[in-house]
Structures are given as structure tokens and as C-alpha cells.
């Protein structure tokens, strides 16, 4: 059995962490410790656990801090304890300035908070010198519109050129007070044929009037999402910069999430890249896998659970790895990404039709805490393998369809694989067939040729001249119909879209193998 140790620091007062209570005399610092294992019942009443599984390792208090170090087994076989896994854990803390008395705990008032953690995510030791050079890629006074979702794109030129270096760490530079405004930051490699004129301005991404130069930026070289901290590359891997094959121009995409439509916001967030001339053994790459972001991905309302799958199939991996890297690539970290309806994400790995150990997973997905998971052991991906990004959603609080899209009120199902050595593959994602989705709700015919998006339905009469989005919303969904629809979607043929670093793209249409259906 394993145990974990958690160090809690609180600037003042007495913490009540998880269901562990500590009390002491803060006026004299003559510590008298009462450390017990508690749990809350269905009425949120605090009760002493008959099975005491938490063990105090260390306690200290001064005029500013109360510090506790304690341990417990990952699996206690106690129904009142939550099993500790590699998934996200939500730590809830509260404290009161008076000790707990015979009448029970004192109400904490506003002295409370939460923090999401991944307790078993292996820590990477900081081996970086404080004197290492760095450069910042930050927006300059971007006016954030008073609308729900904005994707802002800004082109930058990598300042390190003509000699190879390795980026060893990337840190988010989020403007103070904008921690909930900046939802994610993606860094794309762009064409090396651009010139410095593209650096003069930023523009809203995915906009009809955005600069043509943005269209050359398809290869993700780094990803950060809300709640994440800085990412340190392993000692044998780095992000290569400075050579002709490396990014010279990069596009930074910042997703601003402004559901309250706040006016007058000005943002200067971005990324800091720390680099070194001391080269690592391997160059890192990123593969974006999962579901292609589109309306073909949709989730009915009122569903306590709905499962979507994005496929990176052997046809795509064989094409990309076969010629370049038949011995395979080595994945060392994974970022799992969904939006507000997301409840769990799993990165499944198949070889020769047999499922391997999960590549990465989070069964307690927290939208506000998304960061790379370091793998305890690097995983080799071979040309004949299949990868499935499996996302679980809940839409019980929604009365209309949830659509794949850019807004946090839309949904995504993506995983970003950090791996080495770098190959010419940047994206491996799928979309399900749309016509059978329409047939499920009774659509007979659409207008052809398709001249609008979303396309318009011709028959039957109740859907005539509606877009397929309107038709899906008009359909009378129930949980049983939603389950039947989920079963259908997971068995639909998929179109797998594979993209290379040079923007070359190819597609593969195929039926989904039985192995990928909902468990």
C-alpha cells in the first residue's frame, strides 16, 4: 500500500483540511494537538470517522502559520474516505480562530476555500539555472470585447536564431486579476517564408478578415490551459529553436472567456520561454488528438452522462511514423482538454486490437484546473497503434443541444501529447458522420448542393427549411432517446483528419472498431 504526504500552510488561523481537524493554543505557541479523522454526511454535518486513517507526521505553529504534515494510505477500504488516484482531487479547507469545543466545530464563515490538485502527478525537479536566458511572448494592451468568447491571435518572431537552443521551461504570464478571463493559450509554428510585416498587429482569430499569414500556423508547439502552472521539460528533452527546421514565426492564440460581458478589459497576458545553449538529447513535439472541433460533435440536453470519442487511427499513425520513426515515438506528458460540460477524460491506447493501460486520465475533471500530466513512465506509440480520446459529459442543467465549438459553453474533446523525437505530424483527429445523426431525429432529405453552413433541411415537413442545429434543438429529447443516440454516435463511421507540420493534410474514412464503443 502507498501513502502520500501533504504540507498545508495557512497564513493565519487553524486549518480544517479534508476531514482532518487540528487545534492549538495560538497565543502561547505551546502546541497542544488534537488531530482526528472526520467526514461529512449527506446533510454536511461533520462526524468523527470510526476508522482513523490519517496520521500526523509533523506540526508547527508560529505567529503567521499553522503547518501540518500528515499521511494516509491511497486506498483505506473506508467508505468515508475518498480513494486517491491520478485524477484531480478537490481540496476543501476551512478554519476558525477558536479551537473546536465539546459542542463541535465552530462555523468558519468566510475563512474557507478550495484548490484542485493532482496529488499523484509526479513532480519534476527544478534543475534549471536561475541565470538561464528567456524571452516573453505577451499581448500588448489587447482590448477584450464585451462578449462571451474571443480568440485573439498575435504573431511573434522567435528572437533566438542562427544557432540551436532548447527551451527547457514555459511559464504562463497571466495579468493579475485576469486568471478567470484567460482560458487557454496555444502557441503555433507558422511558415518560415513570412516577413516582419506580419508582426505589426494582432487580430481576432478565425475571423473572415484575419490576415492570410495566420492560415500558415497549424502546428501546435505548446499548450497551456486555465489553472495550469509552468511546464518543465524532462532533462533529456527540449523544444528546439534556432534552426531552419524550428519555428521562426509563431502565432499565440489566447482564448478570452468573458461570460459576464464585462466592458473595458485590457489584457497583457502571454508566455515566458526559458532556454539554454546546452542541448538536450531529443527535440520535443506536440500531437493534437481527439475530436475535430465542429458541429458534427454534439450532445443532447438533460443527459447525466454522455460519451464522445475522438480517434487517432493506425492509418494516420502508420502514414506519419512509418517512414520517419518505425521504432515509435515516446510520450512523456499529456494535457486533457474539455469545457464546462466535461466530467471525465481518458486517453485510451490500443495495439493490435488490444487495449493497453490508459495513457492518461482524469475521472474528476475540473474545467478550472487543466495542466499537463507528466507520465510516470514514458509510453511508446508505434505506427500500428490506435489512440482514442474519450470524453464524458453531463448536460443535466441544459435545455438545448451542446455543440462542438470555440466557446466554453460549446464543447471540445482534445488531448495534447508531448513526445520525442519530433516527427512531421501535428494533428490526428476525427469527426463522426453527420447524416446518420440527422436520420436519428427523422430527417429525410437536405437541400443539395449544400450552399449554407449549417446546411438546410428539405424534408420532412416539421423540419423543412430549418438548419440541422435548429432541427436537433426542436427534437423532443429524453434521457432514453439520448442514450440511444449516444450508442448510435459511438458506432458511426468517422473521418480521420491528419495534418503534418508543413500544413499537408490527408483524410481517412472508416468504420469505428468494436473496441471503441462505450463501456
Q: How far is residue 503's CA from residue 497's CA, in Å, rounded to a whole number?
A: 12
CATH of domain 134-432: 2.60.120.230
**Weakly modelled stretches of the chain, pLDDT under 50:** 1-28, 514-519
Reduced 3-state DSSP string for 374-404: EEEEEEEECCCEEEEEEEEECCCCCCCCEEE
How do the domains of the chain map onto residue ranges?
3-117, 134-432, 434-492
- Give the tens place of pLDDT for each residue, 205-263: 998 888 999 988 988 999 898 888 889 999 999 999 999 889 999 999 999 999 999 99
How far apart CA 199 and CA 53 sit, in angstroms, is: 58
pLDDT in tens, 189-201: 998 888 888 887 7
Distances (CA, A) of 12 to 54, 58, 70, 130, 359: 23, 18, 19, 31, 41
What's the confidence (pLDDT) of residue 508? 65
List the Cα angle 79/83/86 in 5-degree steps. Answer: 165
Beta bridge partners of 469: none
For cell 496529488, what's the residue? 119
Residue 23's CB is within 10 A of a number of other CB atoms, namely 21
pLDDT at 198: 87
For position 107, what pLDDT does the model report?
74
**Catalytic residue numbers, as ranges:** 151, 337
Provide Rg for the chain, Cα atoms: 25
pLDDT of residue 7: 40
pLDDT at residue number 46: 80
* pLDDT at residue 441, as a whole number: 96
Q: Which residues have a Cβ under 8 Å from the Cβ of 134 and sit 6 or more positions away? A: 272, 273, 274, 275
| Helical ranges in 90-164 per DSSP H | none
Amino acid at each position: 500500500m502507498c501513502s502520500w504526504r501533504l504540507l498545508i500552510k495557512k497564513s493565519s488561523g487553524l486549518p480544517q483540511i479534508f476531514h482532518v481537524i487540528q487545534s492549538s493554543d495560538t497565543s502561547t505557541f505551546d502546541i497542544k494537538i488534537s488531530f482526528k479523522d472526520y467526514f461529512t454526511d449527506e446533510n454536511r454535518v461533520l462526524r468523527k470517522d470510526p476508522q482513523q486513517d490519517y496520521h500526523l507526521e509533523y506540526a508547527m505553529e508560529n505567529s503567521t502559520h499553522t503547518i501540518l504534515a500528515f499521511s494516509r494510505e491511497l486506498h483505506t477500504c473506508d467508505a468515508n474516505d475518498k480513494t486517491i488516484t491520478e485524477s484531480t482531487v478537490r481540496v476543501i479547507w476551512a478554519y476558525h480562530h477558536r479551537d473546536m469545543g465539546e459542542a463541535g466545530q465552530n462555523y468558519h464563515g468566510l475563512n474557507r476555500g478550495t484548490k484542485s490538485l493532482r496529488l499523484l502527478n509526479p513532480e519534476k525537479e527544478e534543475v534549471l539555472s536561475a541565470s538561464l536566458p528567456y524571452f516573453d511572448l505577451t499581448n500588448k494592451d489587447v482590448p477584450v470585447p464585451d462578449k462571451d468568447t474571443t480568440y485573439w491571435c498575435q504573431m511573434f518572431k522567435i528572437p533566438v536564431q542562427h544557432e540551436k537552443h532548447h527551451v527547457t521551461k514555459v511559464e504562463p504570464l497571466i495579468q493579475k486579476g485576469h486568471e478567470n478571463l484567460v482560458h487557454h493559450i496555444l502557441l503555433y509554428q507558422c511558415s518560415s517564408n513570412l516577413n516582419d510585416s506580419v508582426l505589426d498587429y494582432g487580430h481576432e482569430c478565425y475571423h473572415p478578415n484575419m490576415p492570410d499569414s495566420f492560415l500558415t500556423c497549424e502546428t501546435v508547439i505548446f499548450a497551456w490551459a486555465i489553472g495550469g502552472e509552468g511546464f518543465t521539460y524532462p532533462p533529456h528533452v527540449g523544444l528546439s529553436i534556432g534552426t531552419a527546421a524550428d519555428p521562426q514565426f509563431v502565432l499565440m492564440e489566447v482564448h478570452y472567456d468573458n461570460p459576464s460581458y464585462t466592458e473595458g478589459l485590457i489584457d497583457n497576458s502571454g508566455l515566458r520561454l526559458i532556454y539554454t545553449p546546452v542541448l538536450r538529447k531529443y527535440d520535443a513535439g506536440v500531437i493534437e488528438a481527439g475530436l475535430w472541433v465542429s458541429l458534427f460533435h454534439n450532445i443532447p440536453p438533460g443527459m447525466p452522462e454522455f460519451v464522445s470519442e475522438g480517434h487517432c487511427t493506425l492509418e494516420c499513425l502508420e502514414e506519419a511514423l512509418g517512414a520517419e520513426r518505425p521504432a515509435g515515438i515516446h510520450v512523456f506528458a499529456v494535457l486533457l482538454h474539455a469545457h464546462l460540460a466535461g466530467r471525465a477524460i481518458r486517453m485510451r491506447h490500443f495495439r493490435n486490437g488490444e487495449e493497453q493501460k490508459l495513457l492518461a486520465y482524469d475521472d474528476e475533471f475540473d474545467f478550472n484546473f487543466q495542466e499537463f500530466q507528466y507520465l510516470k513512465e514514458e509510453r511508446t506509440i508505434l505506427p500500428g497503434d490506435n489512440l482514442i480520446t474519450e470524453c464524458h459529459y453531463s448536460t443535466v442543467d441544459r435545455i438545448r443541444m451542446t455543440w462542438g465549438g470555440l466557446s466554453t459553453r460549446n464543447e471540445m474533446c482534445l488531448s495534447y501529447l508531448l513526445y520525442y523525437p519530433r516527427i512531421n505530424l501535428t494533428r490526428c483527429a476525427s469527426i463522426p458522420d453527420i447524416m446518420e445523426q440527422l436520420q436519428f431525429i427523422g430527417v429525410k432529405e437536405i437541400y443539395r448542393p449544400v450552399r449554407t453552413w449549417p446546411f438546410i433541411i428539405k424534408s420532412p415537413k416539421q423540419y423543412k427549411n430549418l438548419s440541422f442545429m435548429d432541427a436537433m434543438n426542436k427534437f423532443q429529447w429524453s434521457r432514453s432517446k439520448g442514450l440511444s443516440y449516444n450508442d448510435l454516435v459511438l458506432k458511426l463511421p468517422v473521418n480521420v483528419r491528419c495534418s503534418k507540420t508543413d500544413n499537408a493534410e490527408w483524410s481517412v474514412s472508416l468504420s469505428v472498431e468494436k473496441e471503441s464503443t462505450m463501456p
